[in-house]
Amino acid sequence: MPLIFQLGKSILAWMVAIFIIIFIILMPRDVTYETSTGNVFEDAGYHYSWTTHKDSFMNFFSYIKENKSLGDYRPGYPNSELLSRTLKKSLYIVLPALFLSYLFGVLKGMLDYRLSKYKIWSFPTRASTWLFLSIPDFFIVVGIQLSLMYLNGIGLLPHITLFGSENFENIILCIIYLSIYPFFYTAKMTYSSLEDEEGKDYIRTAYSKGVSFKKVVYIHIFRNAIIKILQHLNTISLFVLSNLFIIEKFTAYRGAGFYFMEAVYPGASFAVGQSMDLGNASLTISYTIIFTFIILIIHLISQTCNYLITPYDQEEEV
């Protein structure tokens, strides 16, 4: 079946990509330092060794097989426990952000399309989409935080904890932060998809038969436009996941994105003789597999939906 073949290709591509990523993460980072009298740094050199690289790759999987563990984040606190706890915290904000940005983005796109027939309302609704897509998310997040602090300062809002991950408002705010760009992007794609459909013959035929504008939009246009909208589900998911690292780091929300950044960040300085290896390769690889697996699942869902709702000729399968 074409669907099974497509899903199989996606899964195979994911497995190959994971193998390559792990291979890169485990690349040896043995650096030789050149110093002058007094141990003053002068230069550094790197020489790649295939033997060392292969040994690093084999030792990693041998350790997991023998110890049935991903190692410890710190003494007495295994990486597996950290992964479970932080992934759960990140899913609390990622899944609602995906759902809300897609659902309300589609609704806003449909509203923009309907209001486009009225010039008075067309400009402000479409301009808001253009504006929020043009401004970097970071400035919007800072703007929201400053606004909340100002409203609290003048007594219009109770105290809201803007940083951390222990309070309920931290989850709500992070969901809002993650949803901003995907929401407006979905609205734009929905509007464009509806606009592309309106000039087609079947729409003109519906109007000629006296079908109301509302029925044409919701029954005819949207049913065909949803195919194009679903094609952007992967892109929306990538926006949410890529912003997750920045939002969690900026707001000190200690989820999977926060600890992934901690695991891969080498630090802003180094000392002569210091190892350049990742601080926790097991954690880095685990988070990489988890995040890419989430993207794979969303991609498989998108492919399945597209296959089920896209009209196709049965004879093309023969």
pLDDT digits (tens, 9 = 90+) for 168-193: 999 999 999 999 999 999 988 888 88
Q: For residue 41, what pLDDT is reported?
A: 65
For residue 166, report the phi and psi dihedrals to the nearest 5 degrees.
Answer: -95, -15
Asked whether residue 98 falls in the same domain as residue 216, the answer is yes
Q: For residue 16, what pLDDT is reported?
A: 93
The contacts of residue 316 (CB under 8 Å, 6+ apart) are none
Report how many helices (DSSP H) and strands (DSSP E) the chain contains, helices first: 12, 4
How far is CA 240 from each of CA 136, 252, 280, rounded to the nearest angstrom? Answer: 14, 17, 25
Q: For residue 204, what pLDDT is reported?
A: 75
Q: Residue 255: inside a domain, yes or no?
A: no
Asked whether residue 28 falls in the same domain as residue 124, the answer is no
Stretches in the chain below the pLDDT threshold 50 = 313-318
Q: Which two tokens stand for residue 238?
A: 């990538």
Number of folded domains in the chain?
Answer: 2
- Whether 70 and 283 have beta carbons less than 8 Å apart is answered as yes
Asked whether residue 219 falls in the same domain as residue 92, the answer is yes
Q: Residue 87: inside a domain, yes or no?
A: yes
Q: Residue 287: inside a domain, yes or no?
A: yes
Task: Write down which residue in 237, 254, 281 finishes a domain.
Answer: 237
- Whether 112 and 133 have beta carbons less than 8 Å apart is answered as no
Q: Which H or E element spans position 33?
A: strand 31-36
The CATH number given to whatever domain includes residue 120 is 1.10.3720.10
Between the two ends of the chain, the Cα-to-Cα distance in Å is 10
Task: Write down which residue in 237, 254, 287 finishes a domain.
Answer: 237
- Rounded-to-integer distance, Cα 26 and Cα 58, Å: 10
Q: Which H or E element spans position 40?
A: strand 40-46
Q: Residue 148: inside a domain, yes or no?
A: yes
For residue 159, report the phi and psi dihedrals to the nearest 5 degrees.
Answer: -65, 130
Q: Residue 258: inside a domain, yes or no?
A: no
Q: For residue 39, what pLDDT is reported?
A: 66
pLDDT per position as a tens digit, 86-135: 999 999 999 999 999 988 998 888 888 888 777 676 677 778 888 888 88
Asked whether residue 207 falls in the same domain as residue 282, the answer is no
Residue type, position 251, single letter: T
Residue 111 burial by Cβ neighbours in a 10 Å radius (0-12, 13-18, 19+)? middle
Asked whether residue 171 falls in the same domain as residue 205, the answer is yes
Asked whether residue 202 falls in the same domain as residue 99, the answer is yes
What's this model's pTM, rounded to 2 decimal places? 0.81
Q: Residue 249: inside a domain, yes or no?
A: no
Asked whether residue 87 falls in the same domain as residue 231, the answer is yes
- Rounded-to-integer distance, Cα 144 and Cα 139, Å: 9
- Rounded-to-integer distance, Cα 124 and Cα 131, Å: 10
Asked whether residue 135 falls in the same domain as residue 178, the answer is yes
Q: Residue 259: inside a domain, yes or no?
A: no
Range of the structural domain that residue 207 is part of: 82-237
Q: For residue 269, what pLDDT is reported?
A: 53
Q: For residue 170, what pLDDT is reported?
A: 92
Asked whether residue 181 falls in the same domain as residue 101, the answer is yes
Q: Residue 29: inside a domain, yes or no?
A: yes
Asked whether residue 51 falls in the same domain as residue 135, the answer is no
Q: For residue 131, what pLDDT is reported?
A: 84
Q: Which H or E element spans position 35?
A: strand 31-36
Asked whether residue 212 falls in the same domain as residue 168, the answer is yes
Asked whether residue 164 falls in the same domain as residue 63, the answer is no
